[in-house]
Amino acid sequence: MNKRILIIILVAIELVAGLFYFTSSKDKKEDIPSESSISNNVDKNEEKVEEIVEEEDTESIEPDIAIGELAPDFTLVNLDGEEVSLSDFRGKYVLINFWATWCKYCDIEMPDLDRLNEENDDLVVLAVNVMEEKALVDKYIKEGGYKFPVVLDEKGEVAITYLVSAFPTSYFVDKEGILLGGVPGMMTYAQMNQVLEGIRGNE
């Protein structure tokens, strides 16, 4: 597992400037890069992102997220009103994508996420919409014709758990549910594919 994680890190660093990996324990919460320090492909959305954590007592939240450990499980409702859990996808790689309809870089990234999801039977793109109305999200997904599963993080609690500070933010999880790493900002189809191939190559 250590070798796999190391190679994933090296591949992803080569792909995306500003790539981050969490290695902190529960005793220490590492800082997420601010939007000013992330590459300019990340939308300037401070006000929207602040809504996620503004009313929460963030000092009382101990992050339970670390590379090489089980990704924090969560259960959210999809656009059909059904409960979906991250753990439902054991046996497949999962790309968890945190996004919002107002985020222009999320909008640019969506077709590539859908293509990646459609072309890879061993991968699921799980799109986690953060704090938007179901009707708005449903309309956006239908108009785009996207096929990947979409769940609603209505209170932003999952985004907080995953220390999301900007949209889009993506995480890669292996078939056993182990968190491999995260990428803040938009990825291209080629970048997504290269990371996925790097993961597969180190099974």
Set out the domains of the chain in order of their start, with CATH numbers.
Answer: 18-188 (3.40.30.10)
- Average pLDDT in the 178-190 region? 97
- What's the pLDDT score for residue 194? 96
**104-119 and 134-144 helices, crossing angle to 10°:** 60
Which residues fall within 8 angstroms of residue 194, CB to CB, at 6 or more apart?
Answer: 11, 15
Residue 202 — pLDDT band, cuts 50, 70, 90? Answer: confident
Counting runs of H as helices and runs of E as strands, what totals does the chain give?
6, 7
Is the per-residue pLDDT at 127 higher than 50?
yes
Q: Show Cβ contacts of residue 199 under 8 Å, excluding neighbours closer than 6 positions.
A: 4, 8, 93, 172, 174, 180
For the sheet with 75-78, list strands across it. Answer: 83-85, 75-78, 150-153, 123-130, 93-99, 169-173, 179-184
pTM of the model: 0.75
